[in-house]
Structure 1
Amino acid sequence: MSPDATPEPEPIAFGQRMQILRNRRGMSRTVLAGLLGMSPSWVKAVEGGRRQTPKLHMILRIAEALRVRNLSDLTGDQSVPTDLFTGPGHPRLPHVQAAVNAFPLSGDREAPPIEHLRARLARAWTARHSAPNHREVIGQLLPELIRDAQLAVRQADRAPDRRAAQAVLAEVYSLAQFFIAYQPDSNLLWRVAERSLVAAQESEDPHTIGVSAWLMAQAHRDSGPGHFDAADAVSIETLRFLKPRLPEASDHVLAITGALQFEAGYTAARRGDTGTAWRYWDTAHAMAQRLPADYYHHVTSFSRAIMGAHAVTIAVELHAAGESVRQAATAAVAAIPSRPRRARHRIEAARAYHLDGQAETALMTLEKAHEAAPETIRYNGYARRIVLEEVESKTPALRHRASELAVKIGMLSA
């Protein structure tokens, strides 16, 4: 080798990668150990290279706890990159990107009337809840909706018309977040979330503000422990804003309040704060009881029917295996009218069964999620992690079942 040649850098060991990713998330060894069901000394030994690289099932759990987007970031193996919490890019993503990124300063046509835009938006939400491949459906509708809602804001001359247009634009951006989530463009997701919140504030409508805040809190929470405080700040500040309006509130405002209460509980569960998590769930449950029995919030799915599914999520995030299975057994899945939300609940139930060591039941539950809404499971990192783990099962029947499901959701080729 030439003396001037640059030497090959030493590869970063698994434990070092784990420590870097943990520190990047702002997570202590104690917190990570609790999420893994191991001791802090075990985490320290792995990071220090005093223990061998864990087996695949533990690597996948570490990746889940650290919200690692691509498994190669943790393992260092770039030969087969495996996205866990980022699904495949949808074919319609570039069209939505173009509509969001466009910055037209003048309109060459008249904006549609606000009532017309509201009707289109309502149909889009209905389509999202009823379609098995909901990203395909709303991906077709979003580009024109975004452009027309932006145009309506620019062309509004009177203050009331402008506030009404901002409310519609905020909700269009909220719909876009459901499409963009878990796709390979996190910057676009943040841009849409921020625009939604700004438009909502301009609308001065409490319900619209609540919806945009709910989605912003989710964006922070899903970014990892370093963003949990920001998620709480959004949820709690919005709840404080809504509280004086509750005595005379519409069902929609009651529902978004309940959804935000659950969000605060969800974040607490991610922290491992059992008492706070269940206290917020109780508060949200009480709010749900104020709603009509057949009410269902078109954005958040908040309702009486959803509280059983929310209880499963709290228990799973707290890593309470027995409680999560008990909640999964009692939740009324059929009462959830939205196909993607039913599929999401099935995935949470599968996490409960997998946490409890019931791998076969977990896979069966994921198969039901796939039947309800294939795109939901295809873009869900928890489902992908369970399937990937069971593809390596020592039990032939489990391995075969997991492999078949992996092919269906696009993780393995047929």
Structure 2
Amino acid sequence: MPDDTEVSALAFGQRVQILRTRRGMTRPVLGGLLGKSPSWVKQVERGVIHVPPLPMILRIAEVLRVRNLSDLTGDQSMPMELFIGPGHPLLPAVRAAVDAFPLADDRPAPDAAHLRARLAHAWTARHSAPNHRDVIGRLLPNLILDGQLAVRQADTAADRRAAQSLLAEVYSLSQFFLAYQPDSALLWRVAERGMVAAQESEDPHALGMAAWLAAEAHRDAAHYDGADAVVQRCLHHLQPQLADGSDQVLAIAGALQVAAGYTAARRGDTGTAWGWWDKADKASKALPEGYYHPVTSFSRAIMGAHAVTLAVELHAGGESVRQATRADAKCIPSRPRRARHRIEEARAYQLDGKPETALETLDKAHTNAPETVQYNGYARRIILEETEAKAPGRRQRAADLAVKVGVLAA
């Protein structure tokens, strides 16, 4: 198989075949996710069908998780980072805090209660902010440094484990800031540090958070086996503690079940995906009615949104719209998570052949949390696709939204 340096010299169809094979995806699976037959995929890969129109290129990029369109098209003069958002102005400060290697500090570390209160404030601010990276990006550098200091200055083994649990949560918050930014190496470094801190803490909730975020990172990189392995091992570890576990532990187990369902859906495994959703739905009903997990958003209120995403990932247009109609976005208390749900609704409407409604829904998402749309590859893909629409009104609406989101220059 050609290596990465050879891919750019290949024809479009050859690149599709290489990228599909790297994802472990068969032609029937790729065709099904694109709404095409396996023979159509074969004809594209063999060059019988030449480069398709932009809307289909964008859909192929989405299914194959191609982050830069030039990797798929070979046109290096027009790179387009589809699943990577812009670099946030506060990214260098957060990176510097992560990269720092402090060996000594004369100041006393903040106590656990103080760190916990700051973390709670940070999560609350994230959920209420229309641009959450602006908020948590300012808080993270000091949280990272103080969390590390608390671990180093812990007097007892118990204090050290408690500090590691808090540091693991700081790294979890960091991943929400770093996700979809142009520094994937930094994101993976933070994810690995979070996992190590969680393991050192021996805290089941911290372990669950770290595993959930690691699974998200694996799935976004199309490492489906890695995502499954992390989730399955953590669920097995948590299982003995669920009978009398805290709401936090029950919620993180439910979030991991949803994560397993998402990975199955990304693979096109309908039965397994909905089976995991059923388990997670049961887990949500064991939680208090108003409970909302601050990291994963797992709750009774979120299960309708998860159902929409599963149907969309399975490319079931009619079912995804039915689930979108049933789900209540207003009951989701987090602004960025509510905007994310609106984006999933937009994907559902576009799958079902309702592009006008899809654009209208993305407008709502942008009004609610502009940054969420700006950094979301699915939203960017829909907007770009509709800028090529034949209907002038829809094309103009998409172009206006593209300018607001930053996909096109004004």
TM above 0.5, yes or no, is yes
- The alignment status of 1:329 with 2:344, answered yes or no, reads no
CA distance in 2 between partners of 1:78 and 1:87 (Å): 19
CA distance in 2 between partners of 1:26 and 1:185 (Å): 25
Secondary structure in 1 matching 2:295: coil
Tell me the equivalent position of 1:363: 359
- The alignment status of 1:343 with 2:347, answered yes or no, reads no
Match of 1:270 among 266, 273, 284: 266
How many pairs are equivalent? 404
Alpha carbons 2:8, 2:71 under 8 Å: kept: no
- 1:378-393 alignment runs, 5 A limit: 378-393=374-389
Secondary structure in 2 matching 1:303: coil
Tell me the equivalent position of 1:126: 124
AA at the equivalent of 1:193: A
Q: CA deviation at 1:23?
A: 2.4
Tell me the equivalent position of 2:195: 197
Q: CA deviation at 1:243?
A: 1.1
AA at the equivalent of 2:320: S
Tell me the equivalent position of 2:4: none
- 1:235-254 alignment runs, 5 A limit: 235-254=231-250
Higher mean C-alpha displacement, 101-110 vs 198-207? 101-110
Match of 2:185 among 184, 187, 191: 187
Identity %: 72
Match of 2:14 among 2, 13, 16: 16
Q: CA deviation at 1:10?
A: 9.5
Tell me the equivalent position of 1:26: 24
CA distance in 1 between partners of 2:231 and 2:216 (Å): 9
CA distance in 2 between partners of 1:21 and 1:260 (Å): 28
Secondary structure in 1 matching 2:315: coil
CA distance in 2 between partners of 1:133 and 1:168 (Å): 24
* Residues 307/10 of structure 1: CA separation in 2 closer, same or farther (3 Å cut): closer
What stretches of structure 1 move > 6 A for 4+ residues in a row?
Answer: none
CA distance in 1 between partners of 2:56 and 2:387 (Å): 14
Tell me the equivalent position of 2:350: 354
Match of 1:152 among 142, 147, 150: 150
1:27-59 CA distance string (max 9 Å, x none)? 222221121111222112111111121111111
CA distance in 2 between partners of 1:315 and 1:151 (Å): 44
CA distance in 1 between partners of 2:83 and 2:207 (Å): 28
Higher mean C-alpha displacement, 39-48 vs 207-216? 39-48
1:361-396 CA distance string (max 9 Å, x none)? 000000010011111010000000000000010100
Alpha carbons 2:208, 2:252 under 8 Å: kept: yes
Higher mean C-alpha displacement, 161-170 vs 101-110? 101-110
1:281-328 CA distance string (max 9 Å, x none)? 011001101111111000000000000000001100111111000000
- The alignment status of 1:222 with 2:242, answered yes or no, reads no
Give unmatched runs, 5+ long, in structure 2. Answer: 1-6
CA distance in 2 between partners of 1:32 and 1:122 (Å): 42
Tell me the equivalent position of 1:66: 64
* Residues 291/115 of structure 1: CA separation in 2 closer, same or farther (3 Å cut): same
Secondary structure in 1 matching 2:243: helix
Match of 2:294 among 293, 298, 314: 298
* Residues 239/10 of structure 1: CA separation in 2 closer, same or farther (3 Å cut): closer
AA at the equivalent of 1:272: G
AA at the equivalent of 1:350: A
CA distance in 1 between partners of 2:64 and 2:103 (Å): 42
TM-score (norm 2): 0.97
Tell me the equivalent position of 1:5: none
Give unmatched runs, 5+ long, in structure 1. Answer: 1-8
AA at the equivalent of 1:110: P
Tell me the equivalent position of 1:280: 276
CA distance in 1 between partners of 2:233 and 2:265 (Å): 19
- The alignment status of 1:141 with 2:139, answered yes or no, reads yes
TM-score (norm 1): 0.96
